[in-house]
Chain A
């Protein structure tokens, strides 16, 4: 029962190797084993969305994924969002629109919005609101988050 598993995966373009119990959640593996604590563990049952990351390019909950399921996967976490040139446009828009207060949901909001904007071109406000309903924010009332995402969507259309 105490068997450990070896995991090799790529996070934010960097290869990592780890060894953990099979019961270890991916969110805990990222935070505790890889020291990437930007991904937040909230509800730990897939409801609040704070732990959302990109798993092989698509948004996924890291609290309802076992670390061992990510063996061989390519992940993007909030630490990999900003490039060398400064904030990612979504991060900049969140900053400009005051789209965060306590900041706990923000990594999940950003990763969810990133996948959503990669998936849906020219989204309506209703679509943005529906996509963001995957992440619970208890501070902002969502309005400024919606505005930030809408601005980036508009800018992407050129």
Chain B
């Protein structure tokens, strides 16, 4: 259980990191916090020729609020984001989700950008990035671009980042101050990988739902928008019967695969149960005039 040999680089500028990734032609990995990468190295599931450590690149761990976005540097530690006033105020669902990411000692080192780039289909941060219509700002050999969350996550542990591209920043529009939201998750032990997790955001009031957004983790090869469920809520409202029917729709709409941890049927069942629980809590928050 020790990592295989690799060359190690800790460049002091992002341009240099991009050049290094190019030089290794896909055989180098970016090291952010290492909370997913180092276990994979220890298991020797990965044997990259080189690691490009971003710890010396300045300015990658800032959180700032612009007119229409919250900008979270890719190297921001999960723990720092969890206690950030900007995240608490503008992205409370992300704060809630962070409480489910590993344990406090792993969040000390784990980063926001690292978890998103790792694209574990059961991970909470990709799930909330999609639920919040977030995007990543990426720098690479052919310049900079932004990629919407929906276009970023491809399949299990796979993003659409091109070789040599590095996530520099995560950009997320602030939540509506009156939105109701909740994260629900099922795992054998708190802090373990989710078997299924749900992020739910609802806007409007108890009678009329102007916007519903539900995303599931662990229910497919990437975070999954539960569109049929969202549409039903937006058409019919947030009463108990609709929530019940929409949660059933959520379960019917996912196509998870079985693995040693859980069967496909169990994951589908959990998607329905957790969607209903998440909606229940989110709707309760809507009934409270203001929160945050």
Contact = CB atoms under 8 A, between A and B. Distances in A.
A25 B4 CA distance: 11
B109 to A, nearest CB: 5
Q: How large is the interface on A (under 10, 10 to 19, 20 to 34, 35 or more residues)?
A: 20 to 34
B104 A23 contact: no
Given A59-B104, A61-B105, A25 B38 contact: yes
A84 interface: no
Contacts of B7: 1, 3, 22
Interface in A120-151: 130-131, 133-134
A119 B5 contact: no
Per DSSP, chain A at the interface is: mixed
Contact of A64 (B6, B39, B55): B39
B103 A133 contact: yes
Contacts of A3: 7-8
A4 to B, nearest CB: 10
Per DSSP, chain B at the interface is: loop
Interface stretch (A44-52, A74-82, A91-99): A44-52
B103 A22 contact: no
Interface string A26-50: 0010000000000000001110010
Contact of B105 (A5, A49, A130): A49
Contact of B109 (A1, A64, A68, A131): A64
Given A25-B2, A44-B1, A45-B39, A64 B104 contact: no
B263 interface: no
A60 B39 contact: no
A33 B243 CA distance: 59
Contacts of B5: 1-2, 21, 23
B38 A65 contact: yes
B108 A60 contact: yes
B35 interface: yes
Given A133-B190, A133-B191, A134-B103, A55 B38 contact: no
Interface in B92-110: 102-106, 108-109
Interface string B11-43: 000000000000000000001001100110111
